[in-house]
Amino acid sequence: MHDPADDQVRALRTALTRTPRSSSRELARALGVSQATLSRLIRRVSGDVVVIGRGRATRYAWRREIEGVEAIVPVYEMPDAEGRPRHVADLHPAAPDGFVLVSRVPDVPSGWFDDLPWFLQELRPSGWLGRQVPALHADLRLPPHVNDWSSDHVLRFLVERGSDGLGALVVGAKAFRHAVTMAQAPPGAVSASERLALYAARADAAVQQGLVGSSAGGEQPKFLTTRDDGERRVPVLVKFSPAARDPVAMRRRDLLVSEHLALRTLAEHGHPAARSELLVGEARVFLEVERFDRAGPIRRVGQIALAWADAQLVGSSLTSWTESTSALLARGLLSADDHREVRWRQLFGRWIANNDMHLHNLTLRLRGATITGVAPAYDMLPMAYAPQGQGELRAVAFAPQPPGPEDADVAAPALEAAVDFWGRVAADERISAEFRAFANANRDAVVALRAGLIWLPE
């Protein structure tokens, strides 16, 4: 026998699929029923309806299914110090293709998201390492190129294999259980004395497997591991140069050494920077960088690229770090000290010929979904000298521009740090003679800017 209530359920589903986040008044009008009838109908299909908000602000959405993903996906945050993980929110896939996030803690917002929530975007596989993910997890039957992944593809990967992503957040019960297992029994580590041989083998294996190659972004080949210092285990990221001795390979070596020197310069001038160590082998140079999203092999530190935070919280033109952090400061989402640090870092980068300071190369600290500061510097090097396209080396006309009056308070110390950096590059025998000559000339060009500092306002 036909049940008219079934027609109402179908009508409710259609209405919420067409217009998610509808209020009860809007739904009652769309279905042509009273508020009381609508309330009874929603109670009847409560398992299929997601409630957003409370009181007069209450809105509704219809659940949708994603293959391999539970209907309600828990989101956890791993601790960065002594303490226990937090269950910070529940994620509900909702029709037609969005998500409802229901918060369980004050520092994570509830609401509707057209894509995965912005503070989960850092977990999306990307870059050189991310391109390997589809092949390494072929059993998940995801598209072969991560740039083609939809938010549903990303979520399927996270709940199955996302237990060790960037930052502190873990999505899904299965991934969380695996993260806890890893915390209780951390994976093996490479002893400091054996690193060079093992790193060489890892790099050679990557080449043999066809994992090393140019990409649209030209990312540096790398791998992740853990270093055993005897007293502690340190998660690290290891970049490596080509094994060849041609001009392009030598330039890659020069840039890895320069990156190490830039991070050391930053730290010695009192600015937070990722800790790094350079290992020179017979065929390759390895730059080992300690991960700042980890606090030892177990604890984790929340983070998000400035690009993702800007897209959700600011919506700037994405043209510079300082434009974005200035907008965050104006909205009370970032401190004046943090914005000042970014202004200093951007000037330093400009004066060491880093033309790749995009918004994915600056990271913010997170607690839940709340920004707590700026993470240490990384990927800071003279990228203007990086091989282009198919590996061409082009001439670089380095013409450092003087600071503007808006940076009068950070210009002098940033300038001295840049002078120091170029001096270190020019004196380092691990760098080619050609690149040391560039460094000498660039140091002179930066030194020449000192004369103009007297014209900056106090």
Write out the catalytic residue numbers.
356
One-letter amino acid for residue 401 of the chain: Q
**CB–CB of 79/1 below 8 Å?**
no
Pairing state between β 294-295 and 285-290? unpaired
Q: 351: exposed, middle or buried (C-beta count within 10 Å: 0-12, 13-18, 19+)?
A: buried
Contacts of 426 (CB under 8 A, 6+ apart): 436, 439, 440, 443
Residue of 383, 333, 339, 340 lying closest to 361 (CA atoms)? 383
| Sheet of strand 169-171: strand arrangement | 111-113, 98-103, 86-94, 73-77, 169-171
User: What token pair was written down for 166?
Assistant: 């960037």
Residue of 313, 311, 293, 307 lying closest to 376 (CA atoms)? 293
Peptide bond into 247 cis (omega under 30): no
Task: State the DSSP code for 429.
Answer: T
User: What token pair was written down for 49?
Assistant: 């309806």
CA distance 268 to 379: 17
Residue of 425, 433, 446 lying closest to 381 (CA atoms)? 425
CA distance 251 to 188: 33
Percent of the chain as helix, strand, coil, to the nearest 5: 45, 20, 35
CA distance 444 to 442: 5
CA distance 389 to 208: 23
∠ Cα 68 74 79 (to 5°): 125
CA distance 363 to 424: 26
Measured in Å, how far apart are the chain's first and last C-alpha atoms? 85
Which segments of 219-358 are extended strands (E)? 222-228, 233-240, 276-280, 285-290, 294-295, 299-300, 302-305
CA distance 73 to 76: 10
CA distance 394 to 372: 40
CA distance 327 to 448: 32
